Amino acid sequence: MDNTILLSKISKGLMECCKSKKFLRVNKLTVNVNENSHINSCNLYEYLKNFNKGIVDESTEIKIEIEDLPDQVVIISSIEGDVSQECV
């Protein structure tokens, strides 16, 4: 399984979720992956740090959960973060 494709899917999905829910910054992120995936919290953090600048930083907690998912499928199961005051 190509990790770059999965990392890109997570990055794009995270950006879409943050935009639609008006998140300014992500504090906690939980992602579900296939048991054969080589994605872990370290390589996901490094990818997001580079491609999702501004919403992910060193204090962002990333958790990876293994599930019985098809190859090339990832699920962002939880996002916690700071929301724009315009939405409160």
HSE at residue 45, side-chain half, CA atoms within 13 A, is: 13
Per cent of the chain over pLDDT 90 is 84
Q: Which of 2, 29, 1 is nearest to 13 (CA)?
A: 29
**Do 17 and 79 form a contact (C-beta atoms < 8 A)?**
yes
| CB neighbour list of residue 5: distance below 8 Å, 6 or more residues apart | 72
pLDDT at 33: 95
3-10+21-87 topology per CATH: hypothetical protein PF0899 fold (3.30.2320)
52 phi/psi in degrees, rounded to 5: -130, 45
Q: The whole model's pTM is what?
A: 0.89
Q: What tens digit of pLDDT does each residue of 1-15 get?
A: 468 989 999 999 999
Residue 71 has pLDDT above 70, yes or no: yes
